[in-house]
């Protein structure tokens, strides 16, 4: 017996409604509880699983969304990272934007960040010194959404890292070292063998010492910093420096990986709890952090929010899938 078309349509609609209801019942509900213990250790195996290009993961959070952009740190307007960020603003209603690189303690919509990106826009070749912070901050202003830094305060990071047995020299030395890939991206250096490195390190030591509240006799100059680097990594600081040396690899082959891993665990736990706090306020949240942070955060957010509704680089499609 053939089922009349109208009846078939009613049955299908009822089945779809039942499936949606079952999914809604099964999905975690607010208030969501942070699960920082589920953060995935950053290992060489996890690093090798990370997509080479920028990507995003989208979660439903009740009627709202969490859109997490795993950036490939980029300085070109035409990069995939820039496009995904622009598409996030175009495709989703967003209340809060959390960006990498500056502390939450600066408060909402810090004027210093907007001043920085306005002074470091694209040049004639599409190069942006401010990197992905430019489309992130300007997108937040245009939405409008509230822009927050996603970083813990540096003295708090230092206290947690010292408690794990590392030294003040380790954390200060690493804070300076991790600038080198950025200086190269920003064309301030050709490599770590560039003679301009010394003056950049001297200034970074002063700035990082102030941020971390480290005494003046800890790595007081470039020579002492270079000696620290050689003692930790077993080689001089020169053109052989590789970005991998500042990666937070739990099983990395460089001594600085151990320091980076300790710092990363503190940063990612802080970010995780910050994001969940905003979701519990009923906000839709965009997070723009490096892709490694998204890989680390995935199991924790899966535990809190359930499986993502989209993973990929097409946020226009994500907006349809995740309605």
Q: What is the greatest pairwise CA distance in the chain?
A: 89
Predicted confidence at residue 159, as pLDDT, reads 95
Predicted confidence at residue 28, as pLDDT, reads 80
Tokens at 76, concatenated: 């070109």
Q: Quickly count: other Cβ atoms within 10 Å of residue 242's Cβ.
A: 11
Block mean pLDDT (10 aa), the chain, length 323 = 43 42 58 97 94 97 97 93 98 98 97 94 86 96 98 95 95 97 93 97 97 96 98 98 95 96 96 98 98 97 98 98 95
Q: Quickly count: other Cβ atoms within 10 Å of residue 269's Cβ.
A: 19
Predicted confidence at residue 287, as pLDDT, reads 98
| b/e map 7-27, b = 16+ CB within 10 Å | eeeeeeeeeeeeeeeeeeeee
Predicted confidence at residue 123, as pLDDT, reads 84
Predicted confidence at residue 12, as pLDDT, reads 42
Predicted confidence at residue 304, as pLDDT, reads 98
Predicted confidence at residue 27, as pLDDT, reads 64
Q: According to the 3-state scheme, what is the secondary structure of 273-286?
A: HHHHHHHCCCCCEE
- List C-alpha distances in Å: 123 to 64, 74, 181: 36, 14, 20
Predicted confidence at residue 251, as pLDDT, reads 95
What's this model's pTM, rounded to 2 decimal places?
A: 0.83
Predicted confidence at residue 122, as pLDDT, reads 84
Predicted confidence at residue 13, as pLDDT, reads 43
Best CA proximity match to 142, nearest among 301, 46, 286, 322:
286
Please report, for the chain, how many H helices and E strands are present, in that order. Answer: 13, 6
Predicted confidence at residue 26, as pLDDT, reads 54
């Amino acid at each position: 017996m053939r089922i009349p078309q109208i009846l078939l349509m009613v049955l299908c609609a009822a089945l779809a409604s039942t499936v949606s209801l079952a999914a809604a019942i099964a999905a975690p509900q607010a208030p969501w509880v942070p699960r920082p213990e589920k953060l995935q250790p950053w290992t060489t195996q996890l690093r090798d699983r990370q997509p080479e290009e920028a990507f995003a993961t989208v979660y439903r959070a009740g009627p709202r969304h969490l859109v997490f952009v795993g950036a490939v740190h980029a300085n070109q307007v035409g990069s995939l990272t820039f496009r995904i960020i622009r598409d996030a603003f175009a495709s989703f209603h967003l209340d809060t934007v959390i960006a990498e690189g500056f502390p939450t303690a600066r408060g909402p919509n810090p004027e210093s960040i907007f001043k920085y990106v306005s002074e470091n826009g694209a040049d004639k070749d599409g190069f942006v010194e401010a990197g992905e912070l430019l489309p992130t901050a300007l997108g937040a202003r245009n939405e409008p959404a509230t822009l927050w830094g996603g970083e813990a305060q540096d003295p708090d990071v230092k206290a947690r890292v010292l408690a794990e047995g590392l030294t003040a020299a380790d954390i200060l030395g690493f804070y300076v070292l991790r600038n080198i890939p950025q200086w190269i991206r920003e064309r301030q250096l050709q490599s770590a063998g560039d003679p301009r490195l010394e003056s950049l390190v001297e200034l970074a030591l002063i700035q990082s010492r102030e941020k971390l509240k480290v005494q003046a006799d800890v790595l007081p100059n470039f020579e002492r910093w270079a000696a620290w680097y050689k003692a930790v990594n077993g080689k001089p600081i020169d053109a052989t420096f590789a970005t991998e040396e500042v990666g937070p690899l739990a099983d990395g082959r460089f001594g600085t990986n151990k320091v980076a891993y300790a710092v990363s665990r503190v940063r990612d736990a802080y970010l995780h709890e910050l994001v969940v706090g905003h979701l519990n306020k009923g906000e839709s949240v965009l997070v723009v952090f490096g892709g490694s942070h998204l890989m680390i955060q995935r199991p924790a957010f899966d535990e809190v929010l359930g499986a993502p509704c989209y993973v990929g680089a097409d946020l226009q499609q994500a907006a349809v899938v995740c309605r």
